[in-house]
Chains A and B, each alone.
Chain A
Amino acid sequence: MKRLIVLFLAVMTMSGCATVTQVLDYFDMARFDNNEYLLAVQIRTQANLGARKCGTPDVNREVSLLWNHSLAFKNYAESIPNNEETVTMSSELLEIVRGLDQRYNVDKKEVSMGYCTSKFGLIEKNATIITNVVGAKPR
């Protein structure tokens, strides 16, 4: 009986006024996944490496690799059930990377050094946030 009370209190503490079903849904989340984490780390690493190539012809290849990793991350996250937050993060990150890919590999526009370094920096910062929380998912 004591155990039931403790469990009930824990559930109620988390939920506030939510129904028990909503509380159970809340706790039904995707657990840590090695592949998902690796993909997030690859984006972070690629953004870091890509920033060093700003202003050189090699940057197009770096952008392509970053686009591939970001798309793979989103597609992989989407295939995991109860993974809403990671799907949101991967989709938003892909939108940021899309602009970079559009300029370098689709429109082939003139790109300023400031834009290149800022964009890679922003992607790396976001990828760091993502790796931190994806890496801390419950095992």
Chain B
Amino acid sequence: MANFFESGFTVLQELAREKRTMDAMKELQEWVGNNHTELADWAKEAENYTAMFENKEISEDEYKELMGDLKHSKAISDAADDLAVRSKANEMLDNIIIAAGCVL
């Protein structure tokens, strides 16, 4: 009788573990399938700088420098997006490993 309950408990544990694994996998697939939005609207900044230059609020070389900075900002946004995806992927992999009951 004790063995019967023990084996039943083991089956339930196994089912719960499989469900957790499937949830983590689903979350992972949804994340990978997503398109990551831009973290900042640099085009709008460019419009602002152009308006400032036209209104003579900034000089020409200041304007050129600010426009050049937008290229650096774009590179920062791209690297930030990459890092966000990589961090999330790592986190989800950790969740999958935990859900699968693996001990590293």
In chain A, positions 71-102 with a C-beta closer than 8 Å to chain B are 85-86, 88-89, 92-93, 95-96, 99
Give the dominant DSSP class at B's interface: helix
**Chain A residues whose C-beta falls within 8 Å of the C-beta of B59 in the assembled complex:** 112, 115
**Chain A residues whose C-beta falls within 8 Å of the C-beta of B83 in the assembled complex:** 85-86, 89, 133-134, 137
In chain B, positions 74-104 with a C-beta closer than 8 Å to chain A are 75-77, 79-80, 82-84, 86-87, 89-94, 96-97, 100-102
Residue B47 CB within 8 A of the other chain: no
Give the dominant DSSP class at A's interface: helix
User: Cα distance A92–B101 when bound, in Å?
Assistant: 41
Residue A53 CB within 8 A of the other chain: no
Contacts A27-B90, A125-B40, A137-B87; A6 near B69 (Cβ below 8 A): no
In chain A, positions 15-32 with a C-beta closer than 8 Å to chain B are 26-27, 29
Question: Could you show 15 A-B contacts with beta carbons less than 8 Å apart?
Answer: A2-B18, A9-B25, A29-B90, A88-B75, A112-B59, A115-B62, A118-B52, A119-B69, A122-B45, A125-B73, A129-B80, A133-B87, A134-B83, A136-B87, A138-B87
Partner of A7, one of B18, B39, B97: B97
Over the window 26-45 of chain B, the binary record of Cβ atoms lying under 8 Å from chain A Cβ atoms (1 yes, 0 no) is 00110010000001100001
Instruction: Contact check, A3 vs B87: say whether CB atoms are below 8 A apart.
Output: no
Number of A-B contacts (CB under 8 A): 118
B interface, size bucket: 35 or more
A interface, size bucket: 35 or more
User: Cα distance A129–B91 when bound, in Å?
Assistant: 20
For B97, the closest partner residue in chain A by CB is A7
Instruction: Contact check, B84 vs A133: say whether CB atoms are below 8 A apart.
Output: yes
Instruction: Contact check, B90 vs A89: say whether CB atoms are below 8 A apart.
Output: no
